[in-house]
Structure 1
Amino acid sequence: MGMYLLRFPHSWLLAIMLVSSAVCEDQGCEDITDLDLKHSIVGSSLKVRLLLFTRANSTCGQLIDRENPFSKPYLNVSRPTTFTIHGYRPTGSPPVWMRSVVAEILARKDINVIVVDWNHGATNINYLKVVENTRPVAVILTDFIKKLQNKGASLDSIHMIGVSLGAHISGFTGANFNGSIGRITALDPAGPSFTGKPPEERLDPTDAQFVDALHTDMDAFGFRKPVGHIDFYANGGADQPGCPKTIFSGSEYFKCDHQRSVFLYLDSVNRTCRTVAYPCSSYSDFLDGKCFNCSRFGSAGCPVFGYDVIEWKDVLLKLDQTSTYFTTNKASPFCKVGYKVDILTWNSEKRWGHITLTLRKGDQETTAEINHKSYEFQQYTETSLLAQFDREVQPAEKITLKYGTGNVFGPKYKLRVLRIRLTPLPLELNLRPMCRYDLLLLENKGVTFRPIPCEHSNF
């Protein structure tokens, strides 16, 4: 996965770049410490550096003097402040995504972005030694935030974005302020050494006024259970599309799922994607199309994943911890397009199988395979499914529907469809559903038809 190309949708961003270039000519620019494998083998003692980026120096990090933070001109406590905190660095290299995170956040808001560089301390082949350093990093950040407070900064305006171990550092820092800081975003919070620990020994919802978390690698390096007011489980929270499945892929096999959390979040910051997440009791129920009810969130509807979920803060704080699910594509743009699919069949005997749908408009085409399990189709019983496509093709001019059982050597079956209805998600948008009536599907043979507006029916 390469770094994202930065987007500059507004002319004022070009001016920012020019100003930043001028800054770079006038003073040295700082970046995250770059270590190597020998530091990991020997071990690195803790050293924390705070690098400041603003719209005035968006490409040229200023090293903050922690004893005298305001000795340089760009730190302004009247602006909100976002901290970005990396996690374990087993090889000592800087995170490839950090610059993109800084640039995209500054494109959204005129704020202070402070990169917490604790590569000295995060680089060690002994993971347990790195875990021991998370508390001291939090102490240093606590002291620095108190200095901001003394100059008039509001804790409400503090946002901490922590990746892996950085999520728990954010939690420890927030706990030192009794949960008064504004927001903590946890991107795949680390699991090893924290799983099974009580809330005071890890990130939990009391560490900030609002805590949102994303889980992408809970079966390896990530934390499985909810840790926030809202927890997002992308693709169920474990294996991510496009990530290697075998160890023969090298280091990507170990880090891809874990690191995907950052790239999903970047898509939400730069608004490449607006992904609706659905509250559900399990990922299986979500895939089965049982979780479209968003009434608990009132008129706002189901929350969107990522940077803008803060818009749902008030309603989420009134609820218990909320776990939500969504699926993604293999690469950016990661967002998928969902449809609720209702199929009414009239076979006299039960049929089992899976469904494939293809939408076409001109030369555009997208396909959804609903095959994570075999579904039961009964006579005059409506079966609801969730179809998710890699992109929007609307209005669909043609739809191809295919029925299959997966049986290679058995007899070929037919599925008689009385009605199929496709309703765009989320349902609260009240977009017009598409229908078709009286179809005969031969197993593994696609039937193509033009959708028509759905009729009102008691079926």
Structure 2
Amino acid sequence: MVCRTLLWRLACVTLLLFDVHRVKSDLESESQECAEMTDLDLKHSLSGTSLIVRLLFYTRFNSSCAQLLSHQKPFSNHRFNLSSPTTFLIHGYRPTGSPPIWMKDFVKFLLNRRDMNVIVVDWNRGATNINYWKVVDNTRKVAANLTDLIQKMKDNGADLSSIHMIGVSLGAHISGFTGANFNGKLGRITALDPAGPEFNGRLPSERLDPSDAQFVEALHTDMDALGYRELLGHIDYYANGGADQPGCPKSIFSGSQYFKCDHQRSVFLYMSSLNGSCPIIAYPCDSYTNFLDGKCMDCGKFLSAGCPVFGYDSIQWKDALVQLEQTRTYFQTNKALPFCKFGYKVDIVTWNQKTHWGYLTIKLNNGEEEAQVELNHKYLMFEKFVKSSLLAQFDRDIQPVKKVSLKFCTGKGLRPRKKLRILSIRFTPLQNNLRPLCRYDLLLEENKDVTFRPIPCEDSNF
């Protein structure tokens, strides 16, 4: 339409303003449709809350704007594609009523990784209660609610094997109860520091167990307090031994972080695995002590496919792990992002006449930066012509290694200083398929750094 007169110009302006107002209204309407996690506070916890389950639905199209799914007609949302995989994200106990700080980032990381349906299970009303035992009772009810939804999905053509449930703390057992209702036909359950109180020592039918899905994995980060101690899945990861996590407070005077940091670390470790830029290698082992002693670095005797990678990509080891039924694994992490460490198997042969005991400090240098590790978790024994194998994990990947520094310490300052005579030392990288580095004939004087240039090892075997 061409505005040729003043009247027409006024009409055009009116129409334009109407269109702008309509667009603005549409945008406001769309923003108002974004569903948020239920936000409660301590007064709700003290008075107790009755269970209400809300389903917050995300896809790549609405990755930052959740839509509330109807329990009765979940597929009325045209973006719910039943042929796409579906991931459920289930939080745990919320004693203060606040939404999990990590939830939105978790959703974004999942959707960045793969095109899928993501359903955040908001049961904050029911999880917020100072009475923990009442919250535990609610886990069965949440599972019944999810069972009803998944049954509707199945009836409308969804493949149960395409369903992945990620449960945090109590959410891990909710995932297990839901999976059990489908006789273990759900594709995958990921349990992030499954809750221990009221579940430790329970029968498999009363907690998460490997029969609840085709593949069940569990990460333990607070097994001495809020988490579960024993094996729960086809593969169980014990980060830093499964209890105290690096960087978490050691004193109660640190406030709330003292109680939740170790427990919550499981979430951030798994989230870091979604970007895949810094993979964490897990080592099957009978104990954390044997892992630290370097006795579990040969994954071939457990898994023909090699050491599994912790996190989202562990599904690649599913078939081998399911055949083993239950596998206990360990790994170490840094105290913050990036969490991954870079490991070396260190083989040492000494030629002292007497057996020496002590600790080692190792530094790697590439000419610009340096990484250091202190092997002091226990006294190391160095016996003449006997190979000692150690695990050294550094906080960074220092490449290429141009210099290595070693320091030997007995920890007994009042005694005469000892000397450790090294016949040969070999550094075998556990990642990146790099060639081992060696050095021969070194003399370490106690408490003094000895720096040398490593050379390619003369043979492939030690």
1:443 corresponds, among 440, 443, 446, to 446
Structure-to-structure mapping, 1:54-73, within 5 angstroms: 54-73=59-78
Identify the residue that residue 455 of structure 2 maps to in structure 1. Answer: 452
Name whichever of 46-55 and 22-31 sits farther off: 22-31
Structure-to-structure mapping, 1:274-285, within 5 angstroms: 274-285=279-290
Measured at CA, do residues 67 and 241 of structure 1 come closer, stay the same or move farther in structure 2, by a change above 3 Å?
Answer: same
**Kept in 1: contact 2:284–2:302 (CA 8 A):** no
Q: For residues 98-146 of structure 1, what are the alpha-carbon distances to aligned partners after superposition, in whole Å with 9 as ceiling and x for unaligned?
A: 1111000000110000000000000011111100100000000000111
Identify the residue that residue 169 of structure 1 maps to in structure 2. Answer: 174
Counterpart residue identity of residue 321, structure 1: Q
Identify the residue that residue 139 of structure 1 maps to in structure 2. Answer: 144
- For 1:280 and 1:22, the matched residues in 2 are separated by 55
Count of matched residue pairs: 437
Q: Give how far 1:73 is off.
A: 2.1
Task: Output the TM-score relative to the length of structure 2.
Answer: 0.92
Q: For residues 270-329 of structure 1, what are the alpha-carbon distances to aligned partners after superposition, in whole Å with 9 as ceiling and x for unaligned?
A: 113211101000000000000012114555211100100000011111113000000000
Identify the residue that residue 400 of structure 2 maps to in structure 1. Answer: 395
What is the percent sequence identity of the aligned residues? 67
Name whichever of 408-417 and 382-391 sits farther off: 408-417
Counterpart residue identity of residue 173, structure 2: H
Identify the residue that residue 253 of structure 1 maps to in structure 2. Answer: 258
Q: Give how far 1:408 is off.
A: 2.6
**Kept in 2: contact 1:24–1:60 (CA 8 A):** no
Identify the residue that residue 11 of structure 1 maps to in structure 2. Answer: none
Give the 3-state SS of the residue equivalent to 2:348 in structure 1.
strand
5+ residue gaps, structure 2: 1-25
Q: Give how far 1:55 is off.
A: 0.3
Name whichever of 295-304 and 315-324 sits farther off: 295-304
Q: Give how far 1:409 is off.
A: 2.1
Counterpart residue identity of residue 442, structure 1: E
Q: Give how far 1:27 is off.
A: 4.8
Q: Does 1:433 align with 2:433?
A: no
- For 1:317 and 1:217, the matched residues in 2 are separated by 25
- For 1:164 and 1:382, the matched residues in 2 are separated by 43
Structure-to-structure mapping, 1:7-22, within 5 angstroms: none
Identify the residue that residue 11 of structure 2 maps to in structure 1. Answer: none
Identify the residue that residue 191 of structure 1 maps to in structure 2. Answer: 196
**Kept in 1: contact 2:210–2:233 (CA 8 A):** yes
**Kept in 1: contact 2:371–2:395 (CA 8 A):** yes
Identify the residue that residue 362 of structure 2 maps to in structure 1. Answer: 357
Work out which of the two has the higher radius of gyration on C-alpha atoms and give 1 or 2: 2
**Kept in 2: contact 1:297–1:315 (CA 8 A):** no
2:315 corresponds, among 294, 310, 313, to 310
Structure-to-structure mapping, 1:282-361, within 5 angstroms: 282-296=287-301, 298-361=303-366
Superposed CA RMSD in Å reads 1.5
**Kept in 1: contact 2:425–2:438 (CA 8 A):** yes
**Kept in 2: contact 1:23–1:60 (CA 8 A):** no
Counterpart residue identity of residue 268, structure 2: F
Identify the residue that residue 384 of structure 1 maps to in structure 2. Answer: 389
Identify the residue that residue 14 of structure 1 maps to in structure 2. Answer: none
Q: Give how far 1:33 is off.
A: 0.3
Counterpart residue identity of residue 289, structure 1: G
Task: Output the TM-score relative to the length of structure 1.
Answer: 0.93
Q: Give how far 1:456 is off.
A: 3.1
Give the 3-state SS of the residue equivalent to 1:386 in structure 2.
strand
Give the 3-state SS of the residue equivalent to 1:87 in structure 2.
coil
Identify the residue that residue 132 of structure 2 maps to in structure 1. Answer: 127
Q: Give how far 1:363 is off.
A: 1.6
